Chain A
C-alpha cells in the first residue's frame, strides 16, 4: 500500500498562509540583515511562528498546548521556510520535539508548545546511524555518533558525574550545534543516556561560530558541572535519538525542496526577463535545457520528500529507508539548484546584494546536516542488503 504523496487541501491552505506571512515578515533583505547581525536568528519571526500562530508546536498534541497537527504538516511549513531561507530554529525544535514525543516527556513538550526553542546537542552533521541494531547494542550512545559523523564530534564527548547528593552533572563540549543559541533547553546525549539541560544554568556556555550558513548559525556548546535531568538511558535513549535523527533527515528534505523550488522559480524569472543578444536569454536552449533538467530533478525530489514526511508522520516501518533516500536525493538536488541559480544569474548572482548566495550556503550546509548523501547511501546499503565490496 502506497502512502498518499499529494498535498491535502488543508496543507495547501497552510502553505498559502505561511507563504503570505513570510512574504510580509521575512523578505530576503531582512534575512540578510539578520544573517549579518550578531543575532542568532529572527526573534520577531520566531515569536510569530511559535507564539502567535503556534506553528512551531504543530506536532505537539493539543492536550499539551500544541496544535495537534502532524509531521506531514510540519513538512509543509518547512518547505516554505526553506523557500524563504528563513532564519528561525524551526527544524531543530521539530527534531527535539520528535525525541520528546518518543519519550512522552510532557513537561518539555509543554515548553515547546509555549514557544520555547529546544535543541538536540549534537553536531549538525550527525545523521541516523548506519544500522539500528548496531546502534542500540552500544553501551555508550554518544561516541557512536562521534566516530560515525565527524571528527569535530570527537571533541564533543560529554561525561556524566554525580554530585554530592547523587544528582547528575554534565561536563564536556559539543561542537557545531545548530539552532541552539536561543534554546531554553538542550537535549544532551551523554554516558549512554539522554539528559535535559536548562541553558540558564551556571556552567552552560554557547559560543556562536562563524558559519557557512549564517541564516542558521552554529555554536559550540560547553558544559562545566552542569546539573541535568536524565530523560532516558540505554536503548530507550538511543531509540529516541534515532527517531529524532531519522525525522531530521526526513523533514530536512522538505526544507531543501522549498529552497530548490525558490532557486528554480527565481532563475526562470530572471531568464525570462534578462535580454542579451537581442533575445530573452531563457530562449537559448543551452540554458533552458539546464532548467528543464533541474525541474525533472525537483519533480522527483518532491515525491521523495513527501514520501519521507508521510513515513515519519505515520511512523511507517519504512521511515528509516525513506529518510535516507530523502537525504541521498534531495540534499544534492538543492545544492545543484542553488549552484544553477548563481551561475545562470551571471554576474549579479555572485554578489552579496543578490539573495542567491544565502540559498547557496544554506543548501550546502543542509547537504551535510543530518548526514551527507554519501553517509545516507551507506545507510541504504545496509537497509537494502547491497553490501560493500
Chain B
C-alpha cells in the first residue's frame, strides 16, 4: 500500500500544476486540467478528479489555488452537483457513468438539480408518484416534481421515480439521471414567500430516458437516494465560519452601530442569540475536526436543526430591533438567484428566507425523528404504510 498523501505532497503537486498552467488563462481549460491532475476533490479516486488523499487536505489545495489567483468552479452555484449528485454517482454509478458525469459536474460545465420532492411526497419522500415505465430498451417518465432549485439551468437532474407500484413503497423506486434537455421536460419558476423564484416546478410528460441513465438496480432507488440525502445534510451543516461570521454578525453590527435602536429587553435577546450562535459555530468547528480525523459524528443533524432555528430567531430579532425600518422591504421582484445570500439583502428578506431553512433539506420535524431513532435509538412510530403495496395507500 502506498504511503498516505501528505499536505506537503499536495502542495508540491499544486505548485507543479501552477507552473504548467496559467491561472489567468482560459477558465474552463484550467479547471478541466485541474480535474485531470487529480487536484479537484483530492479524496476522490485517481482518474475521477482526485488522488485518494485524506478529505481534510482539500482545504490546503483550495487555499493554494486561491492564493495563486486561480479560477474556482463557483461551488455555490453547483452545490447540488457537488454535494449530492457526485457522491451518489461515485458510490452507486457504473464506471462509465462516473467517467461521463463527474468531470463536467466538477468544472461547472454541467449544472445538476434534484428531482425528488413532489406535491404529494415531501417529508414522505418514499411515497413519490412519478412513474417510470419500461419502454423498449429505455424508460418513459411521467410526473411532477417541485422545490427544484437550479432546474432552469440544469443539464442533469437526479430523479427518484416509481417503477413498481404493486410493492411496498420503499421497494418500488428506481434512481435515474434525468436529461433536462429531453423532450417532455418543462421547468416553471416557483415563486416563494420572498418573491424570488429560487426554485422550480418540473413537469415530466412522456420523457424518454435511456437505460444508461439509471443509477443502481431497478427497485433499489431508495438505497441510492439515502446516499444523496445523507450528503445533503452534511452539505448544509458543514460550513465553518469565523466568530460572528454568519447572520449573528449582521445583528451585532446593527446593535453596535445604531445605539438609538437599543432597548434593555432586546439587549438580552441579542446576547442570548450571540451565545447560541457562538455555541453552534464551535459545534461546527468540532464536527469538522472529527470529520477530518475520520471520526464522523452524528452532529451534522444537530447543526442543521440548530441552524434553522437560530437563523429564524436572529432575523426575527433583527427586524424588531429595526423598528419602523423593519416595516420596509427591499423588493418583491421575481428574481432568479443562483445562490442564497442571507447576508447581502435586508433584514426582512433574511427573516422570510430563513423560514425555508427548517423545511428544505428535510424538515426539522423529520430531522428530529432521525435524531431520535438513529442517534438516540428510540423506537419508530408504529406505521401502516410500509407493508402494503404503494398503489393501495390512501392519498
Contact = CB atoms under 8 A, between A and B. Distances in A.
Interface of A: 2, 4-6, 264, 268, 271-272, 279-280, 282-285, 288-289, 291-293, 295-296, 299-304, 306-307, 325, 328-329, 374, 377-378, 380-381, 384-389
Contacts of B295: 6
Given A300-B280, A302-B286, 13 more contacts: A279-B379, A282-B378, A282-B379, A292-B368, A292-B375, A295-B371, A295-B376, A300-B282, A304-B283, A306-B286, A329-B275, A384-B274, A389-B259
B279 A279 contact: no
B279 A288 contact: no
A195 B264 CA distance: 39
B314 interface: no
A268 to B, nearest CB: 5
Give the one of A296, A306, A328 with max B CB within 10 A: A296
Contacts of B302: 295-296, 299-300
16 contacts: A5-B282, A5-B285, A6-B290, A264-B376, A272-B379, A279-B382, A285-B365, A288-B369, A289-B365, A296-B305, A300-B279, A300-B283, A303-B283, A380-B271, A385-B256, A388-B262
B377 A6 contact: no
A299 B285 CA distance: 12
Contact of A303 (B252, B279, B375, B376): B279
Contacts of A301: 279
Given A295-B371, A389-B264, A288 B378 contact: yes
Contact of B372 (A292, A328, A374, A388): A292
B19 to A, nearest CB: 30
A4 B289 contact: yes
Interface string B203-216: 00000000000000
A6 B256 CA distance: 34
Interface string B276-313: 10111011011001100101000101100110000000
B45 to A, nearest CB: 28
B46 interface: no
Given A280-B379, A283-B380, A293 B275 contact: no
Given A271-B378, A283-B378, A296-B305, A386 B368 contact: no
Nearest to B255: A386
Contacts of B278: 304, 325
A266 to B, nearest CB: 12
A373 to B, nearest CB: 8
Contact of B267 (A4, A268, A381): A381
A29 B305 CA distance: 37
Contact of A6 (B264, B286, B368, B373): B286
A295 B375 contact: yes
B269 to A, nearest CB: 10
Given A280-B379, A389-B264, A384 B252 contact: yes
A5 B378 contact: no
Nearest to A285: B381
Given A299-B299, A385-B256, A288 B372 contact: yes
A303 B302 CA distance: 12
Contacts of A272: 377-379
Interface in B168-184: none
Contact of B368 (A288, A378, A385): A288
Given A285-B369, A295-B371, A300-B283, A389 B262 contact: yes
Contacts of B301: 296
Contacts of B371: 292, 295-296
B31 interface: no
A261 to B, nearest CB: 12
B189 to A, nearest CB: 34
A293 B302 CA distance: 8
Contact of B264 (A2, A279, A285, A388): A388
A388 B263 CA distance: 8
Contacts of B380: 283
Interface residues of B, number: 47
Contact of B252 (A2, A302, A386, A388): A386
Contacts of B259: 387, 389
B41 to A, nearest CB: 23
A381 B368 contact: no
A213 B275 CA distance: 27
A283 B368 CA distance: 12
Interface in B343-395: 365, 367-369, 371-373, 375-382
A272 B378 CA distance: 6
B286 A377 contact: no
B93 to A, nearest CB: 33
Contacts of B263: 389
Contact of B378 (A291, A300, A374): A291
A339 B34 CA distance: 55
Contacts of B379: 272, 279-280, 282-283
Q: Which of A2, A279, A280 has the most CB of B within 10 A?
A: A2
Contacts of A374: 268
A1 B373 CA distance: 36
Contacts of A285: 365, 368-369, 381
A303 B274 contact: no
A-B pairs, top 4 by smallest CB distance, nearest first, are: A288-B372, A389-B262, A292-B368, A5-B286
A288 B373 contact: yes
B271 A289 contact: no
A2 B293 CA distance: 15
A282 B377 CA distance: 9
Contacts of B381: 283-285
Interface centre among A6, A271, A301, by most chain B C-beta atoms within 10 angstroms, is: A6
A139 B365 CA distance: 55
Nearest to B295: A6
B375 A388 contact: no
| Residue from the set A6, A272, A387, A389 with the largest chain B CB neighbour count within 10 Å | A389
Nearest to A278: B382
B129 interface: no
Interface string B246-264: 0000001001100100111
Contacts of B305: 292-293, 296
B111 interface: no
A303 to B, nearest CB: 4
Contacts of A289: 365, 368-369, 372
Given A329-B279, A377-B272, A381-B267, A303 B368 contact: no
A164 to B, nearest CB: 52
